Amino acid sequence: MAKTSFFFPNLCIRQNHRSQIRNRNLSNSGNNHKSQDSPQNPDHICAKTQSKPNIFNDIAKKVSNIIRTKPRWENSIVSDFPGINFIDPMLFNEILKQQTNVVLTLRFYYWVSSQNGFKNDSFSCNLVFLKLLNANAANAAIKFVALTKFMPENDVLEVYIECLCENGLIEEALNVFGQLRKGGYCPGLKTWNACLKGCVRGGEVDAVWKLYGDMMDNGVTADVDTIGCLVEAFCMTDNVSQGYELLWQVLGSGHIPNRESFSKVLYELCRRGDYSRMSALLHAMMSKNCPPDIYTYQAVIHGLCKRKMRHEAFRIFSDLKDRGYVPDQVMYSTMIHGLCKMRWIGDARKLWFEMIRKGFIPNEYSYNVFIHGLFEIGNVDEAKRLYKEMCGNGYGDSTVCYNTMIGGLCQSGEVGEAHDLFNQMAQKGIAHDVITYNALIQGFAKHGSLSDAIHFLYRLLGQGLQPSTPSYTVLIEKLCETGHLEEVRALWKDMHDRGVKPSISSHDSVIVCLSQKGFIAEGVEWLNAMRQSSLRPKKETFEKLIQSLSEARNLGDALLVVDYMLKIGYAISERLSCLLIDELCKDNIRRAESCLIGILQQS
């Protein structure tokens, strides 16, 4: 990939991206300057090629009307116009010119070309071809060129390239672009930019650098669209810092990049958590009278909420409204969810009613976000009331809605009501998924019956669903707490056989349980396995294992565990230090007594 220095020192920007760039012929023969007539207008072609008075105008109008109004005109058009020679180039081209529907134009062309004596000519081909390009029918244009085997003029090829790029056919566009360049023709800036944008959209970042290098070599001046492509290319290759620097260089040169360039860098900075640069760029946009659009604000707010920077998100959301923007329903829902996570239920409620006053009727997503937030702060009664309102408004009969309620009720300890909703889903034919079962497993394990929780795990497996880590975690932890070691081992094996990765907390629970049950050596093995897997045990896990090893007078392993504990940054407690010192002193006394007895026995 090109280095940053490759772009910046040579960067010249044309502020007006609509200004014309004169094409230069790189060969020594001919002149490839564009005509003042636009190649996209077929009338110009006719004006340049037809010098005789158009005596076929009336006939062409009548034929065109028949083609537009008669479904199967091919079967009767010859008899409808007896004596008319449709393969006459003048009449043929006049009909093509007057036909406004590109499909009918193509259809008429193919019909005439199937007649005996028809001879193809570049004028007719260019006429049809330009109509296809103006209709953005890229695939039809490709087939037309392949069938007719004609070569459009260079300026028409530029339009062709732009059409291909707009349709995402970047490989085909680059092939045509390469043909132009091999012929010594330098396209205009609009065509260069079309290829750059196409490469960016298609993920062809290397092609972006190559095209831009070719632009500089041929003295083509970049504009803000060019800069936007470079910025996107930088961001796509995890070089958002270089894209950020490029934007600042453009600003420093007195130009204003387009909003899309700003927005792309803002989004990437937000995604990477670089909020200081993001904030600086936001203020720069505003100072240059180029404020972010609503979609950029939405991306920034969503990114901040996702990274739990909800205070900053709420500040930007408030700033958005102060500047006269109208947040949409998705943004309101995102912000309500973020406020609920911060336990700012009062502000969340205000936004909820503000959203309704703005004319946004809460949908299923909005309701679920707010209900989930209410459960998170323990406001169960209001969550239930909102759920009834949601059902009354025609929502609620979906797996997502039931999961929100079941998960919230289980979290609040109301497992009986959650179980009723679970049964209600079956009665309505609404599918249970892994999230449904996990909520009930966790709810019954923590607030109900461990046997019922295990029952729901078996039901999950019986439904053919793939369990996840939460399906096992709470069960293993609760079984460890109650000392059911054999059941823990069975669940652990089943989890391993199904390819489910256990949580770190599950490892901790098993080690503690092994220590309590007297399987200390096995506990040390589990600790070593965690170390090899780069898993960080809890401090309490170390302390329990050290205590068990000390009490079992296995001081050598106890000291090894202490060493590991200190290396990963935990401090040993005073109580555990005293226990170890006491056991070491006892061990030394025992060794001294044993030595003294041996001496006495020998004397």
DSSP state of 223: E
Q: Is residue 547 part of a domain?
A: yes
Do 513 and 478 contact (CB within 8 A), yes or no? Answer: no
Q: What is the mean pLDDT of residues 174-183?
A: 86
Give burial (CB, 10 Å; 0-12/13-18/19+) of 423. exposed
Q: What is the mean pLDDT of residues 227-243?
A: 77
**What is the residue-wise DSSP string for 375-414?**
HHTT-HHHHHHHHHHHHHTT---SHHHHHHHHHHHHHTT-
Do 542 and 570 contact (CB within 8 A), yes or no? Answer: yes
**Which of 283, 265, 263 minimizes the C-alpha distance to 274?**
265
Judge whether residue 17 has pLDDT over 50.
Answer: no
**Which of 266, 277, 339 minimizes the C-alpha distance to 303?**
266
What b/e readout covers 475-508, taking b as 16+ CB neighbours within 10 angstroms? bbbbbbeeebbebbeebbeebeeeebebbeebbb
The pLDDT of residue 50: 46
Judge whether residue 251 has pLDDT over 80.
Answer: no
Q: What is the mean pLDDT of residues 68-79?
A: 85
The pLDDT of residue 11: 46
DSSP state of 222: E
**Which of 418, 368, 373, 432 minimizes the C-alpha distance to 395?**
368
Higher pLDDT, 304 or 504: 504
Strands (E), 192-336: 222-223
The pLDDT of residue 79: 85
Backbone angles phi, psi at 290, to 5 degrees: -130, 60
Domain of 513, CATH number, reads 1.25.40.10
Q: What is the pLDDT of residues 544-580, one digit of tens each?
A: 988 888 888 888 888 888 888 888 888 888 888 887 7
How many Å separate Cα 182 from the centre of its chain? Answer: 38
Judge whether residue 226 has pLDDT over 90.
Answer: no
Q: What is the pLDDT of residues 528-551, one digit of tens each?
A: 999 888 899 999 999 898 888 888
The pLDDT of residue 236: 74
- Mean pLDDT comparison of 120-134, 147-161, 183-197, 412-426, highest-scoring range: 412-426
Residue with tokens 């062709």: 160
Q: What is the pLDDT of residues 273-325, one digit of tens each?
A: 676 777 777 777 766 666 666 666 666 766 666 666 667 777 777 776 776 66
pTM, to two decimals = 0.55
Q: Is residue 271 part of a domain?
A: no
Do 308 and 341 contact (CB within 8 A), yes or no? Answer: yes
Q: Is residue 350 part of a domain?
A: no
Q: Is residue 36 part of a domain?
A: no
pLDDT band at 386 (very low <50, low <70, confident <90, very high): very high
For the chain, the domain total comes to 1
Q: Is residue 334 part of a domain?
A: no
Q: What is the mean pLDDT of residues 364-378?
A: 88
The pLDDT of residue 193: 86
The pLDDT of residue 55: 67
pLDDT > 90: what percent of the chain? 21
The pLDDT of residue 65: 85
Higher pLDDT, 69 or 311: 69
Judge whether residue 15 has pLDDT over 70.
Answer: no
Do 148 and 110 contact (CB within 8 A), yes or no? Answer: no
Q: What is the mean pLDDT of residues 48-63?
A: 66
How high is the mean pLDDT of the chain?
80
Higher pLDDT, 59 or 279: 59
How many Å separate Cα 103 from the centre of its chain? Answer: 37
Judge whether residue 31 has pLDDT over 60.
Answer: no
**What is the residue-wise DSSP string for 42-99?**
HHHHHHHH--S--TTHHHHHHHHHHHHH-TTGGGTHHHHSTT--TT-HHHHHHHHHH-
**Which of 112, 94, 96 minimizes the C-alpha distance to 52?**
94
HEC string of 497-548 equals HCCCCCCHHHHHHHHHHHHHCCCHHHHHHHHHHHHHCCCCCCHHHHHHHHHH
Domain containing 518 equals 503-603
**Count of beta carbons in the 10 Å neighbourhood of residue 559:** 15
The pLDDT of residue 381: 93
Higher pLDDT, 255 or 8: 255
Do 367 and 395 contact (CB within 8 A), yes or no? Answer: yes
Judge whether residue 54 has pLDDT over 60.
Answer: no
**How far is Cα 239 from Cα 263, in angstroms, rounded to an integer?**
15
Q: What is the mean pLDDT of residues 442-469?
A: 91
- Of 223-237, 261-275, 549-563, the one with minimum mean pLDDT is 261-275
